[in-house]
Amino acid sequence: MQTIFGPVSSRRFGTSLGVDLSPALKQCNFDCLYCELAPAQPVTKQKEVVAVKTVVDELKKHLNDEIDVITLTANGEPTLYPHLRELIKEIDKIKKNTKTLILTNSSTLTDSRVFETLKLLDQVKLSLDAVSANVFKKIDRPAKDVNIDEIIKALQRFSEEYTKELFIEILFVKGLNDTKEEITKLNETLLRLHNVKRIDIGTIDRPPAYPVEALEFNQLHAIAELFDASLPIHIASRKSTKPTQRSYTQEEILNTLDKRPLTKEDIELLFDVSSQEIFQKLLQNGQITTKKVDKIEFFLPSKNFLRKRAKNS
């Protein structure tokens, strides 16, 4: 069974080589409505466990200097892999400058062994789709003993102790976690976290396990604006979000970018042709500028940028 896949080019993480820690079947302690894998009863332990040596031997064959990041993932939840600590230590011996990243649903942070193990990684991406118990249960359909309040406490502690690159991901599903009430609670929770490099908000990009619907791009954009301006929110879903272009005046463009800086793709999805022309003029005459955050280029009003720069300097 193949444990290595890719490399795939990710705008957010660079060239990524994937490691599947559950190659034979789905093994997850959630059964999310939006999961791109088929529905399956949640499990809290892996029954089919791949050997560390198998993963490392395969990884050695595919690893080269072009790879920016080795991404630990699974057909399911990668932190259920019982030899995670040992595997990370073995990868560290061969990875040289390549970074290690894990994509996890955050639930096992409540287990002190997993909590400590994740600190060994260069990058950690934690999912958090909801903070209210009822919404969390509806959308992520976790195993019986998974408790969202405990997860949030562990997540907060992890953000205080982890010294490397921490990312958060929220996936929005129409009619479930996209209410103002839930977004307000998510916002409060996110404001309590420390050292978060980026918060990716997205929606369903691939055919889901259950009949649930994605949001449109302008709905994601409206959600982004509801979060506190100090949070590093980034709209991540683009592949299947319907473009919802509309007309913006010069003032509206500057106000929109002032509230939440946007990427080139955001602008193409949001602004109609004439608004994009106005945007280009503002860019050429210097009223709009660019700022690179991590690997992503954002557009924002120059005045705002200068004001913020002055404040920080």
> Which spans of this chain sit near ligand SF4 (rule: CB under 6 A)?
28, 30-32, 35, 37, 76-77, 105
Report the nearest approach of ligand SF4 to the CB of residue 279 (Å): 35
Report the nearest approach of ligand SF4 to the CB of residue 28 (Å): 3
Report the nearest approach of ligand SF4 to the CB of residue 108 (Å): 11
Give 209 or 283: the residue with its C-beta nearer to ligand SF4.
209
Report the nearest approach of ligand SF4 to the CB of residue 312 (Å): 37
> What letters, b where the CB count within 10 A reaches 16 and e where it falls short, cover 185-222?
bbeebbeebeebbbbbbbbbbeebbeebebbbbbbbbe
Which residue, 90, 92, 83, is CA-closest to 121? 92
Amino acid 306 reads L
Give 89 or 137: the residue with its C-beta nearer to ligand SF4.
137
Give 108 or 275: the residue with its C-beta nearer to ligand SF4.
108
Give 31 or 266: the residue with its C-beta nearer to ligand SF4.
31
Instruction: Give long-range contacts, CB 8 A cutoff, 24+ apart: 183-187.
Output: 183/223, 183/226, 183/227, 184/226, 185/131, 185/132, 186/128, 186/130, 186/131, 186/227, 187/226, 187/227, 187/228, 187/231
Report the nearest approach of ligand SF4 to the CB of residue 104 (Å): 8
Give 208 or 261: the residue with its C-beta nearer to ligand SF4.
208
Report the nearest approach of ligand SF4 to the CB of residue 157 (Å): 21
Report the nearest approach of ligand SF4 to the CB of residue 288 (Å): 37
Report the nearest approach of ligand SF4 to the CB of residue 84 (Å): 16
Give 47 or 281: the residue with its C-beta nearer to ligand SF4.
47
Measured at the CA of 296, the angle between CA 256 and CA 222, to 5 degrees, comes to: 30
Give 77 or 182: the residue with its C-beta nearer to ligand SF4.
77
d(C-alpha 143, C-alpha 105), whole Å = 12
Give 105 or 110: the residue with its C-beta nearer to ligand SF4.
105
